[in-house]
Amino acid sequence: MSTADAARQWAEVWAAAWPAADVDAIDALYAEDAIFYSHPFRDRQPPREYVTWAFSDQAEAECRFGEPVVDGDRAAVDWWAVMTSDDGSVESIAGTSLLRFDADGLVAEQRDVWAQQPGRHELADWAR
């Protein structure tokens, strides 16, 4: 699988699985020993552990992902989301995932950078 195809698949699966809180679909995108950092100031953790935690209080989510920018076995993908927690609070988040894929098209390494803001905030030029 080409890096461009793997990156598009990654974005498509995340776009469908995030609102559905589908941990299994997202986990299937990653190599068994994937390096995963959900934020620059967080410790490395397994992707499945992270998404299980991230979805644990999610009542609703809306998200979109941009077209991957690809170079060799690496890709960068912008994304945006609005999440509603079980307590009814709403938060917007926008970020970029820096990805490296293995020969099978699985994510071998992911490093995310993002910002969050309380409430719903449209970012018309982000993740398009």
pLDDT digits (tens, 9 = 90+) for 99-122: 999 999 999 999 999 999 999 999
What is the pLDDT confidence band of residue 127, given thresholds at 50, 70 and 90? confident
The predicted structure's pLDDT at residue 90: 98
Share of the chain above pLDDT 70, in %: 100
106's enclosing H/E stretch is none
Cα 4 to Cα 100: distance, rounded to the nearest angstrom? 11
Cα 67 to Cα 123: distance, rounded to the nearest angstrom: 15
Q: Of 66, 54, 52, whose CA–CA distance to 11 is shortest?
A: 66
Q: Does residue 59 surpass a pLDDT of 90?
A: yes
- Pairing outcome for strands 58-65 and 69-71: unpaired
Q: What is the pTM of this model?
A: 0.95
